[in-house]
Amino acid sequence: MKNQPKSLVNDLEQVYSQDIQTITSLLAQITNRNPDEIKPHLDAMLKMLVQPQGERPFYETATPQEWVTAFQEWVESHRELNLPTLSEAAISRESIYGERG
């Protein structure tokens, strides 16, 4: 039952792939963002919209293992951004607190 919204979203993405691509392109134009940045937000919104009314949200029903899995997926989704890591000096106590530290 928990995978039902995800399965439904996959089905909708297949049936309406052209429409979803059009919506993604329009949102990219409106927001001046890359379509790859828009797609995860559109997917999340679609999941929320197809979630059956009255179904309890993830945070209320998830097991500890489901939380771990969801967190790992979230972390992995941010690795694609290729953001630079901070140096040791940038996160040192001295650089954070200065003379107060």
Q: Mean pLDDT, 10 residues at a time, over the chain (101 residues)? A: 63 89 92 90 86 79 94 85 84 86 56
Measured in Å, how far apart are the chain's first and last C-alpha atoms?
52
Task: Give the Cα separation of 13 and 43 in Å (integer).
Answer: 9
Q: What's the confidence (pLDDT) of residue 65?
A: 96
Helix axes 17-31, 35-50, angle to 10 degrees: 120
Per-residue pLDDT at 3: 47
* pLDDT score, position 29: 93
What is the predicted pLDDT for the residue at 13? 85
pTM (predicted TM-score) = 0.45
pLDDT on residue 5: 58
